[in-house]
Protein backbone atom coordinates (compact mmCIF):
# COMPACT_ATOMS: atom_id res chain seq x y z
CA UNK A 1 0.00 0.00 0.00
CA UNK A 2 1.51 3.28 -1.06
CA UNK A 3 0.66 6.19 1.23
CA UNK A 4 -0.87 9.35 -0.26
CA UNK A 5 2.18 11.41 0.67
CA UNK A 6 4.48 9.31 -1.49
CA UNK A 7 2.17 9.46 -4.48
CA UNK A 8 2.77 13.15 -4.84
CA UNK A 9 6.51 12.48 -4.88
CA UNK A 10 6.07 9.79 -7.53
CA UNK A 11 4.21 12.26 -9.65
CA UNK A 12 6.80 15.00 -9.15
CA UNK A 13 9.67 12.75 -10.16
CA UNK A 14 7.64 11.26 -13.01
CA UNK A 15 8.22 7.72 -11.79
CA UNK A 16 7.89 5.20 -14.59
CA UNK A 17 6.53 1.73 -14.30
CA UNK A 18 7.22 -1.14 -16.68
CA UNK A 19 4.07 -2.93 -17.81
CA UNK A 20 2.67 -5.44 -20.30
CA UNK A 21 0.33 -3.76 -22.76
CA UNK A 22 -2.94 -5.47 -23.65
CA UNK A 23 -5.27 -3.96 -26.27
CA UNK A 24 -8.66 -5.19 -27.48
CA UNK A 25 -12.41 -4.63 -27.65
CA UNK A 26 -14.72 -3.14 -25.10
CA UNK A 27 -18.48 -2.68 -25.42
CA UNK A 28 -18.24 1.09 -25.08
CA UNK A 29 -15.57 1.35 -27.76
CA UNK A 30 -17.58 -1.03 -29.93
CA UNK A 31 -20.69 1.12 -29.67
CA UNK A 32 -18.85 4.14 -31.04
CA UNK A 33 -16.96 2.11 -33.62
CA UNK A 34 -20.02 0.40 -35.06
CA UNK A 35 -22.21 3.44 -34.85
CA UNK A 36 -20.21 5.40 -37.36
CA UNK A 37 -19.45 8.13 -34.87
CA UNK A 38 -15.71 8.29 -35.01
CA UNK A 39 -15.25 11.62 -36.70
CA UNK A 40 -18.18 13.96 -36.07
CA UNK A 41 -18.84 12.62 -32.57
CA UNK A 42 -15.14 12.55 -31.82
CA UNK A 43 -15.60 13.28 -28.11
CA UNK A 44 -17.33 9.94 -27.58
CA UNK A 45 -14.62 8.24 -29.60
CA UNK A 46 -11.91 9.84 -27.54
CA UNK A 47 -13.67 9.08 -24.27
CA UNK A 48 -14.11 5.39 -25.04
CA UNK A 49 -10.92 4.60 -26.90
CA UNK A 50 -8.18 6.73 -25.37
CA UNK A 51 -8.35 5.30 -21.88
CA UNK A 52 -5.83 3.18 -20.02
CA UNK A 53 -7.16 0.64 -17.55
CA UNK A 54 -4.68 0.17 -14.77
CA UNK A 55 -4.32 -1.62 -11.46
CA UNK A 56 -5.07 0.69 -8.53
CA UNK A 57 -1.76 0.01 -6.77
CA UNK A 58 0.17 0.68 -9.98
CA UNK A 59 -1.70 3.97 -10.31
CA UNK A 60 -0.65 4.97 -6.80
CA UNK A 61 2.93 3.91 -7.52
CA UNK A 62 3.25 6.44 -10.32
CA UNK A 63 1.17 9.02 -8.51
CA UNK A 64 -1.82 9.28 -10.81
CA UNK A 65 -5.50 9.47 -9.82
CA UNK A 66 -8.58 8.25 -11.67
CA UNK A 67 -9.20 10.41 -14.76
CA UNK A 68 -5.68 11.79 -14.60
CA UNK A 69 -3.46 11.44 -17.66
CA UNK A 70 -0.64 9.03 -18.31
CA UNK A 71 2.00 8.73 -20.98
CA UNK A 72 2.22 5.21 -22.42
CA UNK A 73 5.52 4.57 -24.16
CA UNK A 74 6.81 1.65 -26.20
CA UNK A 75 9.72 1.21 -28.65
CA UNK A 76 7.41 2.54 -31.36
CA UNK A 77 6.35 5.79 -29.76
CA UNK A 78 4.30 7.34 -26.99
CA UNK A 79 0.70 8.43 -26.50
CA UNK A 80 -1.21 10.29 -23.78
CA UNK A 81 -4.24 8.47 -22.35
CA UNK A 82 -6.72 9.04 -19.56
CA UNK A 83 -6.29 6.53 -16.75
CA UNK A 84 -9.17 4.47 -15.39
CA UNK A 85 -9.03 2.04 -12.49
CA UNK A 86 -9.39 -1.47 -13.88
CA UNK A 87 -9.43 -5.09 -12.74
CA UNK A 88 -5.94 -5.61 -14.10
CA UNK A 89 -3.25 -7.52 -12.29
CA UNK A 90 -0.24 -5.46 -11.26
CA UNK A 91 2.06 -4.83 -14.20
CA UNK A 92 -0.65 -5.08 -16.88
CA UNK A 93 -2.53 -2.26 -18.57
CA UNK A 94 -5.43 -2.55 -20.99
CA UNK A 95 -6.19 0.01 -23.70
CA UNK A 96 -9.17 -0.37 -26.06
CA UNK A 97 -8.25 -0.87 -29.68
CA UNK A 98 -8.18 2.23 -31.84
CA UNK A 99 -5.83 4.86 -33.22
CA UNK A 100 -4.52 5.90 -29.80
CA UNK A 101 -3.08 2.57 -28.78
CA UNK A 102 -2.11 1.70 -32.35
CA UNK A 103 0.19 4.69 -32.51
CA UNK A 104 2.47 2.76 -30.13
CA UNK A 105 1.94 -0.81 -31.35
CA UNK A 106 4.73 -2.60 -33.19
CA UNK A 107 3.89 -3.66 -36.76
CA UNK A 108 6.32 -6.59 -36.61
CA UNK A 109 4.19 -9.70 -36.89
CA UNK A 110 7.10 -12.10 -36.41
CA UNK A 111 6.05 -13.68 -39.70
CA UNK A 112 2.55 -14.45 -38.41
CA UNK A 113 0.47 -11.74 -40.08
CA UNK A 114 -0.71 -10.42 -36.74
CA UNK A 115 0.98 -7.48 -35.03
CA UNK A 116 1.85 -7.27 -31.36
CA UNK A 117 -1.57 -6.10 -30.14
CA UNK A 118 -1.20 -7.95 -26.87
CA UNK A 119 1.89 -8.52 -24.78
CA UNK A 120 4.19 -5.63 -25.72
CA UNK A 121 6.44 -4.19 -23.04
CA UNK A 122 5.62 -0.58 -22.25
CA UNK A 123 6.32 2.13 -19.71
CA UNK A 124 3.70 4.28 -18.03
CA UNK A 125 4.14 7.53 -16.14
CA UNK A 126 1.92 10.37 -14.98
CA UNK A 127 1.76 13.38 -17.30
CA UNK A 128 0.23 16.83 -17.50
CA UNK A 129 -0.11 16.66 -21.28
CA UNK A 130 -3.58 16.31 -22.77
CA UNK A 131 -5.08 13.49 -24.80
CA UNK A 132 -5.08 14.22 -28.54
CA UNK A 133 -8.27 14.31 -30.59
CA UNK A 134 -8.61 11.73 -33.37
CA UNK A 135 -8.09 14.33 -36.12
CA UNK A 136 -4.90 15.52 -34.41
CA UNK A 137 -3.63 11.94 -34.36
CA UNK A 138 -4.45 11.50 -38.04
CA UNK A 139 -2.86 14.79 -39.02
CA UNK A 140 0.46 13.39 -37.81
CA UNK A 141 0.21 10.65 -40.46
CA UNK A 142 -0.77 12.63 -43.51
CA UNK A 143 2.40 14.52 -44.51
CA UNK A 144 2.12 18.10 -45.64
CA UNK A 145 -1.29 18.52 -44.03
Partner 1 sequence: MIYREVTCPVCGCGCDDIEVEVEDNTIKNVKDACGIGKSKFGEIGSLDRVLKPMKREGKDFVEISWGEAIDAAAKILVEADHPLIYGFSENSCEAMKVGIDIAERIRGFVDSQSSHCHGLTIIAEQRTGLPSCTLGMVMNYADLIIYWGSNAMDSHPRHMSRFSTYPRGIYRKQGRRDRKIVVLDVRKTCTAKIANHFIQIEPNKDFELISALRIALDGGEIKQEKIAGVTWEEIKKLAEMMKNCEYGVTFVGLGLTHSAGKYNNIDNLFSLAKKLNDYTRFSVIPMRGHYNVAGFNEVMTWRSGYPFAVDYFRGYPRYNPGETSVIDMLARKEVDAMLSISADPGAHFPRKCVERMAEIPLISIEVARTPTTELAELIIPGVISGMESEATYYRLDNVPLTAKKFLDPPFTQTSSDEKTLRMIYNRIVELQEGRV
Q: Interface residues with partner 1 (CB under 8 A)?
A: 20, 22, 24-27, 30-41, 76-77, 86-89, 92, 94, 97-99, 102-119, 134-135, 137-138, 141-143, 145
DSSP secondary structure letter of residue 98: S
Quote the least distance from Cβ 102 to partner 1, whole Å: 5
Nearer to partner 1 by Cβ, of 19 and 126: the residue is 19
Q: How far is the CB of 22 from partner 1 (least distance, A)?
A: 7
What is the torsion angle, in degrees rounded to the nearest 10, for the CA atoms of residue 49, residue 58, residue 93 and residue 106?
Answer: 100
Q: Are 116 and 108 in contact (CB under 8 A)?
A: yes
Alpha-carbon span 30 to 117, nearest angstrom: 17
Smaller CB distance to partner 1: residue 8 or 24?
A: 24
Cβ at position 134, least distance to partner 1 in Å: 6
Of 62 and 101, the one with the shorter C-beta distance to partner 1 is 101
Q: Cα–Cα–Cα angle for 45, 48, 49, nearest 5°?
A: 75
Cross-strand pairs, 122: 19
Q: How far is the CB of 50 from partner 1 (least distance, A)?
A: 12
Amino acid sequence: MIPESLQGISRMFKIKIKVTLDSGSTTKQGIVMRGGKKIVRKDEYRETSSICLMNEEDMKFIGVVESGNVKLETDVGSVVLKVVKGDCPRGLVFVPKGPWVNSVIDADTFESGSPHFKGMTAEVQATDKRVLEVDELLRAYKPGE
